[in-house]
Amino acid sequence: MGYKMKKPQFFSEQGYKRNSPDVNKPVNVIDSGDITMKGVDFPVKGTDNLGNTKVMKPGKDYSFPGDVVTETPAKKKSCGCWDGFKRRPGTKPCSKGSCYKPKK
């Protein structure tokens, strides 16, 4: 038995499109399983009311089995060095040994 979410009272018409009034909201709920990412400038994670999740890329169209999709901006992986540490030149962010504590 799958789970089904209740439909919320408020839906976004334009989601995260660049000129949408909802572009800066942390969550948008779309009253459809068909999502277009045309006019969206960043990846968005979508989960339908049946629990199906996709990371959607700008410029593409997506179809979910459910009829309501909750969207959130896809988070970028943060790989900054801790306070007091510096990036080791020539290393990739998040790689082992990419940060070091400089000697005083």
Instruction: Dump pLDDT digits (tens) for 65-79.
Output: 999 999 999 865 567
Asked if 11 and 49 sit in the same domain, the reply is yes
Q: Is 17 helix (H, G, I), strand (E, B) or coil?
A: strand
Asked if 51 and 99 sit in the same domain, the reply is no
Output the CA–CA distances (angstroms, integers) from residue 67 to 83, 93, 94, in the order listed. 45, 39, 38
Q: Could you identify the residue written with the tokens 């410029």?
A: 59
Calculate mean pLDDT across residues 48-61: 96
Reference 31, options 2, 1, 6, 56; nearest CA is 6
Asked if 62 and 84 sit in the same domain, the reply is no
Asked if 48 and 60 sit in the same domain, the reply is yes
Amino acid, single-letter form, for residue 47:
T
Asked if 59 and 13 sit in the same domain, the reply is yes
Asked if 60 and 88 sit in the same domain, the reply is no
Residue 80 to residue 49: CA distance in whole angstroms = 35
Residue 35 to residue 62: CA distance in whole angstroms = 5
Per the structure, the count of domains in the chain is: 2
Asked if 5 and 47 sit in the same domain, the reply is yes
Asked if 5 and 53 sit in the same domain, the reply is yes
Reference 72, options 49, 52, 56, 51; nearest CA is 56
Asked if 11 and 45 sit in the same domain, the reply is yes
The boundaries of the domain holding residue 97 are 77-104
Asked if 16 and 65 sit in the same domain, the reply is yes
Asked if 14 and 60 sit in the same domain, the reply is yes
Span 7-43, pLDDT tens digits = 545 899 999 999 999 999 999 999 999 999 999 998 9
